[in-house]
Structure formats: C-alpha cells, structure tokens
Amino acid sequence: MKICITGGAGFIGSHIAEECVKKGYEVIVFDNFSTGKKENLSFVKNFPGSSLKIVKGDVADYKAVSKAVKGCNAIFHEAAVASVQKSIENPPATFESNAKGTLNVLEASRNNGVTKVIFACSAAIFGDHPEIPKREDSPVLPKSPYGADKYISEVYLRLYNELYNLTTVSLRYFNVFGPRQDPSSPYSGVISIFTTRIAQGKDITVFGDGKQYRDFIFVKDVVQANMLALEKINSGFHYYNVGYGKATDLNTLIAILKKIYNKDIKVNYAEARAGDIKESVTDPSKIIKELGFTPGYSVEEGLRILVESLQ
Ligand SMILES: NC(=O)c1ccc[n+]([C@@H]2O[C@H](COP(=O)([O-])OP(=O)(O)OC[C@H]3O[C@@H](n4cnc5c(N)ncnc54)[C@H](O)[C@@H]3O)[C@@H](O)[C@H]2O)c1
C-alpha cells in the first residue's frame, strides 16, 4: 500500500507516518516544514528496509500536490496552519493552507486515481455552542477562520464523495497531546505550559477557577482512529468526533502532573480570560460503534509518556 501523508513531518502526521512505516506501507511525507521537522521522522532508522520519502512542498500548490500523490492508494491529510490565533490574524493566508489546501488534495486525488482521503478536522468547527457533549450532529458554529476552514474542508469531502465517488473520512480531533508536539501549539498549550513550569518548580497561573475542561486525547489513540478509517472504510463519506469522551479539568490536569513530577507547586488563580471556551468534550459512541475504536491510553498514561519524552 502506498500512502501520502500531508503534514507528515508535524506532530500528529509524524506519528501516523511511524505507524504506516511499522505496517510496511510505502510512505510519502509531503510537508512545507513551516512547523514540521525532519527530526520528527528520525524513527525511520529503527525500521531498516522501510520506504519513507520526504517531498518538500505546499498543499496550496496544486501541481506539487498532484505530482506527490501520483500512484498513492490513500492520503492522510494533516497539513494545516494549526493555529486559531494565526487564522484570526491573517484569514486569507490560513485559508490558502487550510481550505484551498484541502481542495487541492481532493482534486489531486480525483485526478490521480487515489481512492481514499482521511482528513484531520477539528473540534473547532463546533465553536462555543453550548451543547455538551458534542455529538457528530451537534450544531456547527465555528468561531475562527481556522474553524471555518476546517468545516468547509469537511463540506468538500462530502461533495467529492457525492460527485466523484472518492471515499472520504473526516476525523474531528479534540485536544491531542503527546511527544513531538510543538510547545507553542494552541491546542494543548496548557499541557506544555504546565509541564514546563512544574518541571522547573515554578508556580502555575490558572485563568478562572480551573474547572474548565477539555477532552484531551493521547496522540497514539488519534493514530488508531486514522488506521481504523484506512482499514475499515472503503466507500462513502464519513465523519467522526475523535476524543475519549472524558472531561479533564485544569485542576485535575495539575494534580496528575504534580503526581508524575512528584512536586508540590503553588497554583495561582487569576480572572478568567474573555473568549476562553469553558467546556469541550465529545461523545465518542459513533466511532466506537462503527469502527471499533478502543482507546489504549488514559490521560494520565499519556501524560507519563509525554513527561518521559521531555526528560
Ligand atoms: N493538535 C491538536 O490538538 C489538533 C486538534 C484538532 C485538529 N488538529 C489538526 O491536525 C493536523 C495536524 O496538527 P498538528 O497538531 O500535528 O500540527 P503541526 O503544526 O505539528 O503539523 C502540521 C504540519 O503541516 C505542515 N504544513 C503546514 N502548512 C502546510 C502547507 N501549506 N503545505 C504543506 N505542509 C504544511 C507543517 O509543516 C507541519 O508539519 C492539522 O490539520 C490540525 O489542524 C490538531
């Protein structure tokens, strides 16, 4: 099987690449290296005889995408400017990578005999609509150009299935964390900040009462969701929320990290920041029922692995 992974040198993409290499697939990593790093692909030395080719290119460049995906059976489309903040600062620039980039990947698939596209969508499509937990058909209300780009991408996934019979799967990731994550990631920024400060024995500041929660999911379980989509879905357009369905609030996160580091850290509580989403958690029943998704890690186990990787 020949697989192309756009954004394959990034945090999540490199873990997907690692699993594909482990399975003996021929892998093409297509990345512009804006946040991705070659070091994220250094796992390849543990798999002698494996096939991993790196192509430097931009998903906004149709010709480059088209050339890279020729002969591939499937694409994991992870490439994006993964920053809500950047998308608010410069919507047109983010649109190039995040919306036009997806359209290019779909069009290149249609024109080059690729049969399946699995897309990294995001819980950001839901914005701060109050319905909790988020189900697949919960109201979509993006609050940023990033969320809007992810949603329009998903609409194109559906259209490319209906119009051109391309098999498409949208995986709406919740808050992914794990080794190789850029510490400035807007998603699990809080995990990076807390781990760094606790490791240095410094105080932590929490905005609000610390009861705001997220559905944190360890990256290896996101890889599992992607592999299930690759192996089990062979037709149609499908969309799944990808999370544990478990709310972890900031106070719990701090308690777990204190335990892992075995350090007692002072926690300061400051006024809540305007615009912060208070609650985000999914109901993962659909992906469990339809694809047999079985998370292999708890948040605590994932955090232990992350802390180990940082030491
Ligand atoms: N990390 C999360 O919690 C989370 C949550 C929801 C969705 N996502 C989505 O998952 C995907 C992967 O995110 P990540 O956290 O690994 O971020 P990341 O920044 O580590 O990975 C993104 C990769 O895409 C590459 N890239 C960016 N723009 C590109 C372009 N125009 N052309 C080619 N390559 C480009 C980057 O160099 C990087 O390697 C993204 O699509 C992101 O929006 C992430």
Count of structural domains, the chain: 2
Q: What is the CATH number of the domain that holds 200?
A: 3.90.25.10
* Residue minimizing CA distance to atom 32 of ligand 1: 58
Question: Whose CA is closest to 187, among 146, 221, 137?
Answer: 146
Opening angle at CA 199, ends 196 and 200, nearest 5: 85
Q: Do 195 and 66 share a domain, yes or no?
A: no
What CATH number does residue 56 fall under? 3.40.50.720
> In whole angstroms, what is the distance from residue 203 CA to residue 12 CA?
30
Helix (H, G, I), strand (E, B) or coil at 95: helix
Is ligand 1 within 6 A of the CB of residue 13? yes
Q: What is the pLDDT of residue 9?
A: 98
Beta strands in 160-309 (DSSP E): 167-173, 175-177, 204-207, 213-214, 216-218, 237-242, 248-249, 267-270
pTM: 0.96
Do strands 213-214 and 248-249 pair parallel, antiparallel, or not at all (unpaired)?
A: antiparallel
Same structural domain for residues 275 and 287? no
- For residue 111, give its domain range: 2-174+219-244+283-291
Q: Write the residue with the smallest CA distance to atom 7 of ligand 1.
A: 122
**What six digits make up the tokens of 203?**
């105080």
CA-proximal residue: ligand 1, atom 2 (nearest): 176
Q: Same domain, yes or no, for 162 and 255?
A: no
Does ligand 1 lie within 6 Å of residue 178's CB atom?
no
Cβ–Cβ under 8 Å, residues 211 and 247: no
Cβ of residue 175 lying under 6 Å from some atom of ligand 1: yes
Written as tens digits, the pLDDT of the chain (311 aa) is 999 999 999 999 999 999 999 999 999 999 999 999 999 999 999 999 999 999 999 999 999 999 999 999 999 999 999 988 899 999 999 999 999 999 999 999 999 999 999 999 999 999 988 999 999 999 999 999 999 999 999 999 999 999 999 999 999 999 999 999 876 655 547 888 888 888 888 999 999 999 999 999 999 999 999 999 999 999 999 999 999 999 999 999 999 999 999 988 899 999 987 667 778 999 999 999 999 999 999 999 999 999 999 88
Asked if 95 and 48 sit in the same domain, the reply is yes
Check whether residue 53 and residue 127 sit in a common domain.
Answer: yes
Same domain, 127 and 200: no
The answer to whether 36 and 10 are in contact (CB under 8 A) is yes
Bond into 133 cis (ω within 30): yes
Q: Verify that 10 and 133 share a domain, yes or no.
A: yes
179: in domain:
no
